[in-house]
Structure 1
Amino acid sequence: MISEKTVFILGAGASVPYGYPTGFQLNEELKELLVNFPPSPAHCSAEQSKVFKFFEELGCSPKELKKFEKSLFGAARYSIDKFLEKRNDFLDLGKILITYLLKKKEQRHFLFLNLNSENWYAELFNRLDTTVDNIETHQISFITFNYDRSLEFFIYNVLKERTTKSQDIIVSAFNSIPIVHVYGCLGNLPWSKDGGIEYSYEFEPEDIKKMASGINIMSEERETEELKKAHELLRDAKNIYFLGFGYDELNLDRLEITKYGINKKMRGTSYGLSEKDLKAVRYSIAVTPETRKKDARQQTGCSINFYQNDLTIMQVFKKYMVFK
């Protein structure tokens, strides 16, 4: 049981074990899709013909896609989200492309067939022995910067298959765990109050249009209901764990971590990050955003400890994680 209020903040690395790309990998997959997109049906292979028709039904013309490709390559961004933040003219098309690529990753076997590898969802909820009867006693919540719905799908199915109780009880138990998608997500799943779209790699053009509307590409100044909810969770938390997070300074500032991280136990994975990277993160957390570039810097009183940078999330859970 976790009796102390604990928030898990998830970055792209947290979804990698479930078949999803990092931000950089998503950007590269998008470039590959655009480069290989045929200019007309006459230039299509059988497989390309399906893709061409699909995007035609979405209202995306080859001319629009080629224009998008030229700008994306020319901008030389590592992240499609960063690119779209400054290119509102491509916003709708960008959301559709992101949704198309991520929806294809919704494959259940990554969640339920690799329980002994890097499946930290399974490790967490087995360690907590989570059921509909005890889930409300676990003081956990999740703030995720990812669009995917793998966490929701996993938790719901775990609750459903560990009981014979009614659908209403299962849904109520599921809803007791706050999950906040800072930048939105690919929409609701079927058991939600308003209904939703199945977790599946099979989909129709109308599914992509609907799901794309759930993605939020934020400008630096924009405030959202999701961010407000995230701030409330951080304010009330005693423990904060960053998992698979890249520690982008803008994302840390959007969380207002220098405000809500004071007097909190903060830990984070650092897989693949250098000591130079981690030093920069410590500085971002220790100094207020307004004074970072000034001679007179104001200390926040916040600090974070990192796990070894050669450990995956699963390895960190097995080696270090002790919940109270």
Structure 2
Amino acid sequence: MAQALVPQLEAVFRISDNLLKEGKLMIDQPTALILGAGASMDFAYPSGSELTEQVVQITNDPRSNAYRCLLELEFNETQISEFANALRMSGRLSVDAFLEHRPEYIEIGKVAMTLALVRLEYIYNLFGSTDNWYVYLFNRMEAPFSEFANNKISFVTFNYDRTLEVYLFTALKNAYGKSDQEVASVISKIPIIHVHGKLGGLPWETPNGRKYENTDDPKLISSSAQGIKIISESSKIDESFGEARKVINNCERIIFLGFGYHRSNLDRLNIDKSSGHRFYGSCYGFTRIECSKIESYFRPANMNFGNTGWKVRKFLREYISL
């Protein structure tokens, strides 16, 4: 794997050298990045609606490894079929929105989402191209290894995937030639809050952490699914959103990336819009009317949107001075 990553990492270092020459080092303004599903699409992950389609697909295919995994985890064919049909005909745009009002399907829903997402865990998707926003961000965080954690940046993500942690860990390890323990210590100092949970801990985070790789092992899938939090599980969700609010309140800039701006998610963040925060947001694929509605939500603060044709990396490069 190391040899396969060399060309991509060399490209990362070239970008870093250019930034050094320009004198642009570290992120010095307290900044919170709030990530939605669109922020992970550079790495072959689905949008919320696409994940719904994928879950319906795997729960309707008895020949698939995913379906067999569900059976091994003691979900019977009737349960699987009823869940798949209810989700498909629910009109919901995301699986978690569906599960919020159908608690009887929470367990199978978590496992089905885990099966759909874990099969996308390929390290090469994170480093296969320099044309993604993680590369850009990592090089804006350029600093001596001992100072990397001093970047004034925090992450609040609504995504279950672990791409951000894996990218930072892998890039830091290869860029500086440090041990797993040294790199893990640095990353632990950078706030990364998964408000809806994530697909299990990583090996450098927890003693029994799961590697970032595709698997359909029932035991690993089951344990990873337990890391997902559904809105109806109020105590777990309230704690996560409480942590997110503390992080956000300590930041000057709040930047939404790949975010859907659903009213319920914004309400749960409960951001103080009169506190002087500066708000920015990507809005790829949104209409003018949709942007206008979101802008009205943030008043009296101003929500500064980028171009509706800009994906995350383009938005950051063109509109945000990190």
Alignment partner, residue 298 of structure 1: none
TM-score of the superposed pair, with normalisation by structure 2: 0.87
* Counterpart among 109, 112, 120 of residue 97 in structure 1: 112
Letter in 2 for 1:224: D
| Unpaired segments ≥5 residues, structure 2 | 1-25
2:153 maps to 1:140: yes
2:225 maps to 1:225: no
Structure 2 matches for 1:116-155, cutoff 5 A? 117=131, 119-130=132-143, 132-155=145-168
| 1:297-317 C-alpha deviation (Å, 9 max, x unpaired) | xxxx32211001001111112
| Deviation for aligned residue 1:260 | 5.5
Sequence identity (%): 34
| 1:137-193 C-alpha deviation (Å, 9 max, x unpaired) | 210010000000000000011111122333332111111110000111101001114
2: CA distance between counterparts of 1:285 and 1:85?
A: 25
Alignment partner, residue 247 of structure 1: 261
1: CA distance between counterparts of 2:307 and 2:125?
A: 25
| Deviation for aligned residue 1:224 | 2.3
TM-score of the superposed pair, with normalisation by structure 1: 0.87
SS in 2 for 1:75: coil
Alignment partner, residue 36 of structure 2: 11
Alignment partner, residue 316 of structure 1: 315
* Counterpart among 150, 162, 179 of residue 192 in structure 2: 179
Letter in 2 for 1:6: T
* Counterpart among 42, 53, 71 of residue 28 in structure 1: 53
SS in 2 for 1:158: helix
Structure 2 matches for 1:1-324, cutoff 5 A? 1-35=26-60, 37-38=61-62, 48=63, 50-115=65-130, 117=131, 119-130=132-143, 132-219=145-232, 223-257=237-271, 259=272, 262-286=275-299, 301-323=300-322
SS in 2 for 1:21: coil
- 8 A contact 1:130–1:159 mirrored in 2: no
- 8 A contact 1:181–1:226 mirrored in 2: yes
Letter in 1 for 2:308: N
Deviates most, 314-323 or 143-152: 314-323
| 1:91-147 C-alpha deviation (Å, 9 max, x unpaired) | 0000000000000011111101111x2x10011111322553221221001000000
- Structure 1's 260 and 216: CA in aligned 2 closer, same or farther, altered over 3 A? farther
Deviates most, 50-59 or 75-84: 50-59
- 8 A contact 2:153–2:190 mirrored in 1: yes
1: CA distance between counterparts of 2:139 and 2:40?
A: 18
- 8 A contact 1:27–1:79 mirrored in 2: yes
- 8 A contact 2:51–2:95 mirrored in 1: yes
1: CA distance between counterparts of 2:273 and 2:250?
A: 9
| 1:71-107 C-alpha deviation (Å, 9 max, x unpaired) | 1123221211111000000000000000000000111
- 8 A contact 1:239–1:266 mirrored in 2: yes
SS in 1 for 2:89: helix
Alignment partner, residue 44 of structure 1: none
- 8 A contact 1:72–1:83 mirrored in 2: yes
2: CA distance between counterparts of 1:31 and 1:219?
A: 21
Letter in 2 for 1:25: E
2: CA distance between counterparts of 1:103 and 1:210?
A: 12
Letter in 2 for 1:192: E
Structure with the largest fraction of helix: 2
| Deviation for aligned residue 1:221 | 6.4
Count of equivalent residues: 296
